[in-house]
Structure 1
Amino acid sequence: MHAGARQTRRPRGRHRPAAALIPAIHPRGTNVGGLLRYLFGPGKAEEHVNPHLVAAWSGPSQLPSLEPPIHASGRHDIRALARLLEQPVRAGRNPPLKFVWHASVRNHITDRILSDSQWAHIAAEIVAAVGIAPHGDPDAVRWVAVRHADDHIHIVATLVRQDGETAWAWNERLKAQSAARDLEQRYGLYQVGPVDHTSHRRPTPAEQNKSHRQGRPEIPRDRLRREVRAAAAAASDENDFVDRLQTAGVLVRLRHSTINPDEVTGYAVGLPDHHTSSGDTVWYGGGRLAPDLTLPQLRRRWDSGPGTVPRNGGHSPSRPGVQHRTDAFRRATTAVDTGARHLGGRRPDDEEDIASLADAAADVLASTARAFEGRKGGPLTDASETFDRAMREPQRRHAGRLHPAAGQLRSMSRLISAVGRLTSDDDTAAALQLVLRMSMVADNLARLREAQGRLHQAQAARQAAEDLRELAAKVPATLAGVRPAAASVQTSSRRTPSKGRAV
């Protein structure tokens, strides 16, 4: 991160370490001297230790002459190095306005410490993969790799070749990630799978900063994704889905076909108190929340099988009793146990069965998290979101036929939504048995995802299983006669009540 960048922290959610050799391509800039000054400086909190070059465009033999000298004050003089990097830009035929290319490459916390020569090789492979400095090209761009910590390097390049032509570096993020996967294998580092387009969109730095300025306990995109997922898991059809969102205080806007105005082709959601600077509501389409929350994907879910809950979504005129809720969770536990066994018996190429069982189990867990923790969320909601990451199918691949056990799981999801919030130790104990069974589903899904080569999702499934077992062991000790909603606040300091208001 260069000196002008601003580091932000998400208001909610748990930090997990990044996977091995993740190359981050930073926004292009115009001040190569300022970037080098930061990289060779002490850092924002004296975190830069022994900053030095490990690689450069001219080869290892020239590194000593390129290394910035140190003044008596202890600061590095980067002026000569900056001039050398800028020379092709000044002599270029039509240099781009933003000519400074900056990437950082970090390895996993569990990996061994790499040597300078190993990091030099990694840097050379990255710049070759993205196309700005191909191997054996003497006229490629000038670049250097700076190391000021054990676990990462920074690569700085100027995007004008030494023959005067501009290097455009198209699709450098995907190319750098592909090179990183090969390097992980070569060096025996912690491995992650290739990009599979199943992760939901993360909040941008602008969203994070805005939420921080406004004092929001949660980023709107994250809250809306959770509300949409809970409504989708409980709903029986589109009308029920919209009604549940509006009841939860979410604004809903339907998109109609330009050819057939009576046909609904999509939807967007927003919060009543989340606006642009001009006062307009900020809307998020389903696909901007997660790949499986588009309207076509949700329609496949609702049309996928029968349910035991009435089409009105299971809203009961009177509040269900404890025994009713306890029986509902016991029935759901039996269904999840059956689903776990079926999932455990699948082969990696049984993709349709795996998809339908995992998708339906995710609905059960989402409904259970809502019954246990309510709209404010908590550790079970976090585990549900992690499991959701593990069950998604790659882009443009959708579940086909529905496994019979998956239909029963969907019914149980709607039943749990219908019986409402937990109120006693009896129904909480029944819910925790369901949580434990869901950890078995997550374990089986992790094994299948690993066999399918989908390592991102295998990791998410393993993490979900671990979180579910930890929660099931922790909550009984913290209840002590307290209602589950209060217990969830005590077991997680990460979440605070949402301030949304009803429509």
Structure 2
Amino acid sequence: MIAKISRGWRAEGLIRYLMGPGRFNEHTGQRVVATWDGAPETHQPPQATDDSFDVRDLVDGLSAPAVAAGVGLREPVVEQGKRMPQGPVWHCSLRNSPEDPVLTDEQWARVVEDLMDRTGIARRDDLDGCRWVAIRHADDHVHVAAVLVRQEFGKRVHPYRDFVRARETCRAAEAELGLAATAGADRSSVTGPSQAEQEKAARREVDETSREWLRRMARVAAVQARDPEAFVAALGDLGVLVRPRYGPGEPDAESGERYAPMVGYSLAAPGDVTQAGQPVWFAGRTLARDLSLPNLQQRWGSAPAPAAPAGAAEEKHRAAVSPRERAAAIDDAVSTMEHATATLAAGDTGASADGIAHAAGDMLTAVGAVTGRQDEGERVRRHAGNDLDRATRVPGQVLPSRWSPVAKALRQSAWRLAATRTVGRHGEGDGARLVLALAALVAEIAALREAQSRLAQADAARRSCTGLRSSAPATSTRTSGSGPGRTKTTSRQRPQQTPPGPARGPKGRQENQTRGRGR
């Protein structure tokens, strides 16, 4: 069971939406299943038309304490540049897995009552608790709406750590009702796209939201760079708009000139703008906690830098790579992944194993970057990367506490592989070799998480492994060429590469021509 919590101001708008047909007529059988007074049948809104209900009495009853206390239920006017304060309307959705049994209204009512008690919004047998209502309009979830004003004294309520308490409620319901187990809150997970972001992506005719695309491009740039300046340059080459943030200047020891170090950055996708026509910026930390600049610098310092490719121009971050260096980087990546796989298979489940799992995320990013963005398996590997990202995190931490020599070697090989930019035409099956070696490593990560009793992460790793294996044939048919010890092919041509971007339609191709570059 998963809980999502939000705050707002308009109780009437929320209730009308929950009891309404939904944006796409997805709401069916709308009904109140639980209320603050234990009498949901007395608060059932009468049906006004075939697809609407008269919710005025329900809204009035829910809002009565706030109205009596003079607590506003409309957004206040705030000065420009200041943040909107949190509203008194509390909303929580509780959703089960599709594989879970369908709960009865009475079972959902018990879960919601437990949620209200744990969060302190309405303790059991507390006559002064806040008023709340639970509405169900689907088999697998319910919505809880509460007005955070106590009934008798009219005092505002501010739930303490309600996200944590909601997670505890879900875990307790899973154990009691035999539902699929979910992981505890690890404080390191990434923020998924909001419904508004998904709808905006659909309007722009792109196949992933700006948040998801920027997160993916930041990970690619992170394995192609070794310092902030190269990171910004790599992002610009990937078509990302970059806005670096600099700290106060520091005097240089030799020249005496003041040097302002880069302390953060924000990213925007070309074509994703606000109503005022300004880019929609995402700070690196909001994309993922391990993508903040301090954590990126810690990651870059966790392993020795790979040797520069032969013939690389010192002034360019994007060096030309010889066929020999490319073949050596591919062989090194496969060999390092096989060694990491054997290390995990030997049964190590400590902090060093967590380091290997995290470094595998860099390797997947590097493999995805060099095997091409337009082949049939690209989208499959993208989803496999999202699953592996979940499996590589350490609960409660951003980065592992220890990097073993195997983890360092794996990360170093990923950086070396990413520097080649592409597998090129140096042997049919190079891409498949990389993907299959990575799939074997991910399978051991799944076994590691299983042994650590991190079941949700184990499931994510298994999904990633399945996706990688299914994408290997597409990768194999895409790569072609000749090289030492490889079969020469002449019937296949290398597909034309197009710039990366969050779009695949005509609009996306036009947007991808806009590239940002920061300094």
SS at 1:159 equivalent: strand
User: Which residue of 252, 258, 268 corresponds with 2:248?
Assistant: 258
- Unaligned stretches of 5+ residues in structure 2: 75-86, 251-257, 481-490
Check whether the contact 1:329–1:430 (CA below 8 A) recurs between aligned residues. yes
Is the alpha carbon distance of 1:395 and 1:65 closer, same or farther for their aligned partners in structure 2, counting shifts above 3 Å?
closer
**Is residue 175 of structure 1 aligned with residue 185 of structure 2?**
no
The one-letter code of the counterpart of 1:158 is: V
- Unaligned stretches of 5+ residues in structure 1: 1-20
Q: Distance in 1 between matches of 2:374 and 2:287?
A: 17
Is the alpha carbon distance of 1:407 and 1:92 closer, same or farther for their aligned partners in structure 2, counting shifts above 3 Å?
closer
User: Which residue of 126, 131, 147 corresponds with 1:142?
Assistant: 131
Residue number in structure 1 paired with 2:421: 420
**Is residue 411 of structure 1 aligned with residue 412 of structure 2?**
yes
Cα distance, 1:73 vs. partner?
6.2
Check whether the contact 2:115–2:166 (CA below 8 A) recurs between aligned residues. yes
User: In terms of mean alpha carbon deviation, does 22-31 or 142-151 score higher?
Assistant: 22-31
Q: Distance in 1 between matches of 2:198 and 2:10?
A: 25
User: In terms of mean alpha carbon deviation, does 298-307 or 360-369 score higher?
Assistant: 298-307
The one-letter code of the counterpart of 1:23 is: A
> What are the superposed Cα offsets for residues 234-255 of structure 1, whole Å, 9 maximum, x if unpaired?
3344444344334334454444
Cα distance, 1:382 vs. partner?
3.5
Check whether the contact 1:139–1:161 (CA below 8 A) recurs between aligned residues. yes
Q: Please, what is the CA RMSD of the aligned residues?
A: 3.7
SS at 2:336 equivalent: helix
Check whether the contact 2:431–2:476 (CA below 8 A) recurs between aligned residues. no
The one-letter code of the counterpart of 2:463 is: Q
The one-letter code of the counterpart of 1:258 is: P
> What are the superposed Cα offsets for residues 343-379 of structure 1, whole Å, 9 maximum, x if unpaired?
222433x11x123322332222211111112499633
Residue number in structure 2 paired with 1:469: 469
Residue number in structure 2 paired with 1:50: 29
**Is residue 121 of structure 1 aligned with residue 110 of structure 2?**
yes
Aligned pairs for 1:43-122 (under 5 A) are 43-59=22-38, 62-70=39-47, 76-92=53-69, 94=71, 97=74, 98-122=87-111
Cα distance, 1:44 vs. partner?
4.2
Q: Distance in 2 between matches of 1:243 and 1:36?
A: 48
> What are the superposed Cα offsets for residues 273-326 of structure 1, whole Å, 9 maximum, x if unpaired?
6566666655443322211122222222222233442186997865533x7644
**Is residue 295 of structure 1 aligned with residue 261 of structure 2?**
no
User: In terms of mean alpha carbon deviation, does 330-339 or 91-100 score higher?
Assistant: 91-100
Check whether the contact 2:388–2:460 (CA below 8 A) recurs between aligned residues. yes
Cα distance, 1:134 vs. partner?
0.8
Is the alpha carbon distance of 1:38 and 1:252 closer, same or farther for their aligned partners in structure 2, counting shifts above 3 Å?
closer
TM-score scaled by structure 1? 0.81
Residue number in structure 2 paired with 1:187: 177
Is the alpha carbon distance of 1:201 and 1:264 closer, same or farther for their aligned partners in structure 2, counting shifts above 3 Å?
farther
Q: Distance in 1 between matches of 2:278 and 2:51?
A: 52
Check whether the contact 2:284–2:291 (CA below 8 A) recurs between aligned residues. yes
User: In terms of mean alpha carbon deviation, does 298-307 or 213-222 score higher?
Assistant: 213-222
Residue number in structure 2 paired with 1:199: 189
Cα distance, 1:394 vs. partner?
4.0
Residue number in structure 1 paired with 2:264: 267
Cα distance, 1:182 vs. partner?
1.7
Check whether the contact 1:102–1:156 (CA below 8 A) recurs between aligned residues. yes
Residue number in structure 2 paired with 1:12: none
Check whether the contact 2:66–2:154 (CA below 8 A) recurs between aligned residues. no
Is the alpha carbon distance of 1:74 and 1:43 closer, same or farther for their aligned partners in structure 2, counting shifts above 3 Å?
closer
Cα distance, 1:53 vs. partner?
2.5
Q: Distance in 1 between matches of 2:433 and 2:397?
A: 35
SS at 2:130 equivalent: coil
> What are the superposed Cα offsets for residues 414-452 of structure 1, whole Å, 9 maximum, x if unpaired?
33223332344x635122122112112212222323443
Q: Distance in 2 between matches of 1:366 and 1:290?
A: 15
TM-score scaled by structure 2? 0.78
Is the alpha carbon distance of 1:494 and 1:198 closer, same or farther for their aligned partners in structure 2, counting shifts above 3 Å?
farther
Q: Distance in 2 between matches of 1:277 and 1:93?
A: 34
What percent of counterpart residues are identical? 31
Is the alpha carbon distance of 1:471 and 1:196 closer, same or farther for their aligned partners in structure 2, counting shifts above 3 Å?
same
SS at 2:134 equivalent: strand
Is the alpha carbon distance of 1:167 and 1:459 closer, same or farther for their aligned partners in structure 2, counting shifts above 3 Å?
farther
Q: Distance in 2 between matches of 1:30 and 1:440?
A: 51
Residue number in structure 2 paired with 1:338: 339
Is the alpha carbon distance of 1:488 and 1:54 closer, same or farther for their aligned partners in structure 2, counting shifts above 3 Å?
farther
Check whether the contact 1:378–1:494 (CA below 8 A) recurs between aligned residues. no
User: Which residue of 237, 248, 263 corresponds with 1:247?
Assistant: 237
Q: Distance in 1 between matches of 2:249 and 2:406?
A: 39
**Is residue 133 of structure 1 aligned with residue 134 of structure 2?**
no
Residue number in structure 1 paired with 2:514: 501
> What are the superposed Cα offsets for residues 182-220 of structure 1, whole Å, 9 maximum, x if unpaired?
211221111111111222233445555555555566544
Q: Distance in 2 between matches of 1:83 and 1:254?
A: 49
SS at 2:94 equivalent: strand
Check whether the contact 1:446–1:458 (CA below 8 A) recurs between aligned residues. yes
Residue number in structure 2 paired with 1:309: 307
User: In terms of mean alpha carbon deviation, does 450-459 or 225-234 score higher?
Assistant: 450-459
Q: Distance in 1 between matches of 2:205 and 2:24?
A: 25
Q: Distance in 2 between matches of 1:279 and 1:41?
A: 33
Q: May I ask how many residue pairs the two structures share in their alignment?
A: 474
Cα distance, 1:225 vs. partner?
2.4
SS at 1:163 equivalent: coil
Cα distance, 1:127 vs. partner?
1.8
Q: Distance in 1 between matches of 2:221 and 2:420?
A: 14
Is the alpha carbon distance of 1:204 and 1:42 closer, same or farther for their aligned partners in structure 2, counting shifts above 3 Å?
closer
Q: Distance in 2 between matches of 1:24 and 1:135?
A: 22
Q: Distance in 2 between matches of 1:458 and 1:488?
A: 35
SS at 2:93 equivalent: strand
SS at 1:104 equivalent: strand
Is the alpha carbon distance of 1:176 and 1:358 closer, same or farther for their aligned partners in structure 2, counting shifts above 3 Å?
same
